[in-house]
C-alpha cells in the first residue's frame, strides 16, 4: 500500500484520487489557522514555489482537533490561507487526523511513520511536550498526530520517507526534499 491508494475531497469539495500525484515528491501536513505554528504556511508556500516545477506537491489538511485551532468553515480556511500566506498548494476539506474518526490517510501515515518524540532542545518542543502532558496525556501514548503542522515527506513512488513533528520548520526539510528531487 502507498499513499496512491487514498483519496480526499479538495477544500472546494471535489474528490481527488492521490494516484494523480504519482512520480511527485509530496509533503502532507495537517494544518490550522489559529495555531502558534500557523506561520509555517509561509515556508510551505516558499518550498512549493521553489520546487513545484521540479515535481514537489504539498497537500494541506486543515484540522480542528487541537484546542479548536481551525474553527472556520472550509471557505474561511481557504480565504485565510490565500490572503495571509498566498497559499497556492492543494488544500483539502477539514479532517480529523487522530482517534477513531481520523481520515484513513492519516491512520496509514501514523502507522507507517511512528512518533519518535519532540526535539526537546527546541524551546517550543519543551512547551509542546509540557502542554500535552498536562492537558492531553493520552496524545503522547501512541504514534498518532500530536499537534498541528506534523509533516510527512513522501517519495515519487508514494512511500513515506520521513515524519517531521511541528517543531521542525518546513525549510529544515529542504535538503531531504532536494535529495528526492535529484
Select which of 35, 95, 128, 177 is catalytic: 35
| 35 is an active site residue | yes
Among 140, 121, 159, 150, which residue's Cα sits nearest to residue 40? Answer: 150
Largest CA distance in the chain: 44
Q: What are phi and psi of 78, to 5 degrees?
A: -60, -45
* Distance between start and end Cα atoms, the chain: 24
Among 157, 127, 170, which residue's Cα sits nearest to residue 23? Answer: 157
Query: Do 35 and 63 form a contact (C-beta atoms < 8 A)?
Result: no
Catalogue the active-site residues.
Answer: 35
Amino acid at each position: 500500500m502507498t499513499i496512491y491508494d487514498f483519496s480526499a475531497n479538495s477544500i472546494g469539495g471535489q474528490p481527488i484520487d492521490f494516484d494523480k500525484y504519482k512520480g511527485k515528491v509530496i509533503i502532507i501536513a495537517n494544518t490550522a489557522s489559529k495555531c502558534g505554528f500557523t506561520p509555517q504556511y509561509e515556508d510551505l508556500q516558499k518550498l512549493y514555489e521553489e520546487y513545484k516545477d521540479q515535481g514537489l506537491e504539498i497537500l494541506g489538511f486543515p484540522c480542528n482537533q487541537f484546542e479548536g485551532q481551525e474553527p472556520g468553515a472550509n471557505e474561511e480556511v481557504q480565504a485565510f490561507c490565500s490572503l495571509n500566506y498566498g497559499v497556492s498548494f492543494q488544500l483539502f476539506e477539514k479532517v480529523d487526523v487522530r482517534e477513531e474518526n481520523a481520515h484513513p490517510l492519516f491512520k496509514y501515515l501514523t502507522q507507517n511513520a511512528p512518533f519518535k518524540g519532540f526535539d526537546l532542545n527546541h524551546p517550543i518542543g519543551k512547551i509542546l511536550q509540557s502542554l500535552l502532558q498536562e492537558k492531553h496525556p493520552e496524545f503522547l501514548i501512541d504514534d498518532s498526530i500530536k499537534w498541528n503542522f506534523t509533516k510527512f515527506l513522501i517519495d515519487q513512488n508514494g512511500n513515506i520517507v520521513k515524519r517531521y513533528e511541528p517543531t521542525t520548520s518546513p525549510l529544515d526539510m529542504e535538503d531531504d526534499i532536494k535529495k528526492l528531487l535529484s
